[in-house]
Structure 1
Amino acid sequence: MSGTFTKLKNAYQLLKSIDFKMLAKLSEKVDLSQVMASVAKMDDNQLNGLMKMLTSRGSKKKLPPIDGDFYDISSRLTAEDRALQLKVRAFMEKEIQPIVNEYWLKAEFPFEIIPKFRELNICGVTYDGYGCPNRSYLMEGIVAMEMARVDASIATFFGVQSGLAMGSIYMLGSESQKDEWLPGMQQLNIIGAFGLTEPEVGSGAAGGLTTTAKREGDTWVLNGQKKWIGNATFADVTVIWARDVDDNQVKGFLVRKGTPGLSVEKMHDKMALRIVQNGLISLKDCRVAETDRLQRANNFRDTSRVLRMTRASVAWEAVGCARGAYENALAYTRTREQFGKPIASFQLIQGHLVEMLSNLTAMQTMVYRLSEIQDEGGLKDEHASLAKVFCTLRTRDVVRGAREVMGGNGILLEYNVARFVADAEAIYSYEGTKEINSLIVGRAITGSSAFV
């Protein structure tokens, strides 16, 4: 009896769902008596399935989430680290995303974000003491990726401050220098810069620096120029690398803002990382006290220790740039319609998206392992260099694919991919070109140095 009642109930619900005007039109195309006879023979499961199909007419298909972490690498983080990752992501999406295109176009820095940045408490993320968080190198990489996922310029600003400038002092400074500078830099009350590259010297910095340092008693006299120095226009302290004319070794100096003989000119007309305030630094008989010389920086091998540490973060930054481009492009293809349906449903578009995701996933797994090696204390120059080479190359592929699936809209700032296309070119070159990093890896695997 109950079975009969259930069938009647389902039949009644089925009748209620029928549009009888449409039924009249349908009767012109099919034999309704035959249809009803077939319905009457259905069991409960079949009727329920038919009801589900009818009641779901016109409902919007639920799409999978847009997430560039296809292999779910974030699931390997501790709960505490995952919370920090999401905190940084929320900050970037709330505070940076709404203003980034405006500042990128103007080539200006949004100084109003510095107090908000301070609240994240992530500067000097891997350092122990001086107010620093003392987290893993993995988290340093995750933070770099999350920043670059929204904007590579902000990630670069942070990398200069937390990595290159603070890292030089943390690794190579005296205890008194660390006490003086690091707590303030950790809170972004003091902004730092890192001056190594010169107008005529980039890849050849190891043995070709033209900026000189001459000791006169307890003072060093610096002369020369530095180019492409991020944060230089507003830095409170700049780490300047110069060649000691007496022993021909590279040494590091903490040059304070306002020091006589120090001048900084903002660089203009960049096509990439436009928010980063790069400066041309001139040093003319700039006098620096011996107490402001980095006491443990005695040759370029010491400089290389800082570069090795930060080069791993640049590889993560490349991943973030690629992820931002991929996720924005995927979102676009799911809403952009041509020929009456979203372009994401077309085979060629899906082919581009899968190629982008493949590169992105390979990059993510590579830098994850790179950070594991770094946390284990086994990081070598060739490890960081291989990641820098591979990730920046693949990032160029990903951003090209993102721009391609977006057609003409891919070159407009408002669609949030054009920035990634441009910024990928800068990431590809800084912290060592593909050629130089390739030679570092080549030397490691062949035992022969191909450097001049």
Structure 2
Amino acid sequence: MSKHEPLGPLSKGFLAADMFGYQGILTDEESETVAVVRRFLEDEVAPRANEFWEKAESPVHLLPRLADLGIVGLEYEFDGREPARKVFTGWLGMEFSRVDPSTGTMFTVHSGLAMSSIAILGSDEQKERWLPAMRRMEKIGAFGLSEPHGGSDVAGGMETTARLDGDHWVLNGSKRWIGNATFADLIIVYAKDEADGEVKGFVLEKGDDGFAEGFRAEKIERKYSLRAVENADLYFEDCRVPAANKLEHANSFADTAKVLSLTRGGVAWGAVGVMIGAFEKAVAYAQEREQFGAPIASFQLISDLIARMAGNITACLGMALRVSQLQDSGVRHDEHAALSKSYTTTRLREVVGWAREIMGGNGIVLDYDVIRYFTDAEALYSYEGTSQMNNLIVGRGVTGYSAFV
């Protein structure tokens, strides 16, 4: 069989998996930052990603280093600088997931869901009180919305309640799947106001003596996707939160949805990153692994799988990028983010499966990385709205009819 020089990056600094050269849409300055972040992830995160995944511990030692990269909270205006383009911040999220989806999720829960809750729904005073320290990663954020009995229907079925009592709100109930909560300093908690039945947002703040009495967080054990994300169950028993910690503009689930709408498109970028990570490992393996006297990359069935993976990556990368462009131009709608989330995570399942298939038995051994991508893909497929729920949003956008029950 003939040997052909593999297709390399279209330009210096491009990923080989970026076969259509989408990175060229970034500015020179953005590409320079991408290169710095990529090098950090490959040098500092990749060597220990499997170790932290196996131990089910978040690499919290990286948090100060991530702050030093200057990429925290780029989505928001601060210190006189304009918010970064979603195309750029999305690409950075993809770079994280390409190396380690758990580290990427740890970062985006803080910089995305938690910080955006304050940036979008907080008062000017609240933004100034919390966001600077969060940008420096001196205070780490978590985001508490999902509940033990409420995922997709949490909007109408939220069981965690809030009651105003003088100069405090009293919270009762529980939350589930809350990333970063075991080590967070600030936890954004959404609860239903007993007075008007509307969902309100609160910032639970850790003090010198820990969090307020009546609150506890318990790490979820025996989890086999995104193991290096420390998800927790949260419990509130007459937990008192100062009235000043109620997010000023978080007064209904429609307000909460503004945060989810902005971050849901980021899941598509994460899905593409996981695809590229698994693809790169599978291609390198196929080039080195020999069977019947030849590298398996020279076999037709392997080439077919690699081509399918490359097709999914290229299509999904284009979709993620286009949704970010629409968001940057101010014309993105809910169905755009929903379609990108649903489609890319579905294609993600295919890619990680094909990557594992190429590796045969070695594909289930952590030393080869792909099994980590394989299992982590399941969390991306489910969080920030299941594929089916996002498809209902798409259907409503296309037909004008809502199929929600």
Fold shared by both chains (TM-score > 0.5): yes
Could you tell me which residue of structure 2 aligns to residue 288 of structure 1? 241
Q: Is the 8 A contact 1:121 1:133 kept in 2?
A: no
Matched-pair identity in %: 49
Structure 1 residues 69, 369: closer, same or farther in 2, change over 3 A?
Answer: same
Could you tell me which residue of structure 1 aligns to residue 65 of structure 2? 116
Whether 1:69 and 2:49 are equivalent positions in the alignment is: no
Match of residue 416, structure 1, among 346, 369, 373: 369
Could you tell me which residue of structure 2 aligns to residue 227 of structure 1? 176
Could you tell me which residue of structure 1 aligns to residue 116 of structure 2? 167
Whether 1:80 and 2:33 are equivalent positions in the alignment is: no
Could you tell me which residue of structure 2 aligns to residue 95 of structure 1? 44
2:203 aligned counterpart, secondary structure:
strand
Q: Is the 8 A contact 1:225 1:283 kept in 2?
A: yes
Could you tell me which residue of structure 2 aligns to residue 134 of structure 1? 83
Instruction: Give the residue type in structure 2 aligned to 1:287.
Output: R
Could you tell me which residue of structure 1 aligns to residue 166 of structure 2? 217
Could you tell me which residue of structure 2 aligns to residue 357 of structure 1? 310
Could you tell me which residue of structure 1 aligns to residue 12 of structure 2? none
Question: C-alpha displacement at 1:62, in angstroms?
Answer: 4.8
* Superposition CA RMSD, Å: 1.3
The 5-angstrom pairing of residues 357-396 of structure 1 reads: 357-396=310-349
Could you tell me which residue of structure 2 aligns to residue 262 of structure 1? 215
Whether 1:183 and 2:132 are equivalent positions in the alignment is: yes
Question: C-alpha displacement at 1:63, in angstroms?
Answer: 3.8
Match of residue 105, structure 1, among 54, 59, 64: 54
> 2: CA distance between counterparts of 1:133 and 1:191?
23
> 2: CA distance between counterparts of 1:374 and 1:451?
25
Could you tell me which residue of structure 2 aligns to residue 151 of structure 1? 100
2:60 aligned counterpart, secondary structure:
coil
Match of residue 400, structure 1, among 341, 353, 375: 353
Instruction: Give the residue type in structure 2 aligned to 1:400.
Output: G
Q: Is the 8 A contact 1:124 1:132 kept in 2?
A: no
Q: Is the 8 A contact 1:122 1:133 kept in 2?
A: no
Q: Is the 8 A contact 2:101 2:274 kept in 1?
A: yes
- Structure with higher Rg: it is 1
1:264 aligned counterpart, secondary structure:
strand
Match of residue 230, structure 2, among 277, 301, 306: 277
Question: C-alpha displacement at 1:260, in angstroms?
Answer: 1.1
**Corresponding residue pairs, total:** 393
Deviations 1:160-192 (A, max 9, x none): 000100000000001111011101101111000
Q: Is the 8 A contact 2:114 2:187 kept in 1?
A: yes
> 1: CA distance between counterparts of 2:295 and 2:72?
42
> 1: CA distance between counterparts of 2:88 and 2:136?
18
TM-score normalized by structure 1? 0.85
> 2: CA distance between counterparts of 1:303 and 1:162?
16
Q: Is the 8 A contact 1:130 1:183 kept in 2?
A: no
> 2: CA distance between counterparts of 1:229 and 1:112?
20
Instruction: Give the residue type in structure 1 aligned to 2:297.
Output: A
Whether 1:241 and 2:161 are equivalent positions in the alignment is: no
Question: C-alpha displacement at 1:343, in angstroms?
Answer: 0.4
Structure 1 residues 61, 365: closer, same or farther in 2, change over 3 A?
Answer: closer
> 1: CA distance between counterparts of 2:142 and 2:80?
20
Question: C-alpha displacement at 1:61, in angstroms?
Answer: 7.0
Structure 1: gaps of 5 or more residues:
1-59
> 2: CA distance between counterparts of 1:125 and 1:179?
16
Deviations 1:24-68 (A, max 9, x none): xxxxxxxxxxxxxxxxxxxxxxxxxxxxxxxxxxxx975443711
Instruction: Give the residue type in structure 2 aligned to 1:345.
Output: S
> 2: CA distance between counterparts of 1:109 and 1:438?
32
Structure 2: gaps of 5 or more residues:
9-14
Question: C-alpha displacement at 1:87, in angstroms?
Answer: 1.2
> 2: CA distance between counterparts of 1:221 and 1:136?
39
> 2: CA distance between counterparts of 1:421 and 1:209?
32
Q: Is the 8 A contact 2:59 2:103 kept in 1?
A: no
2:169 aligned counterpart, secondary structure:
strand
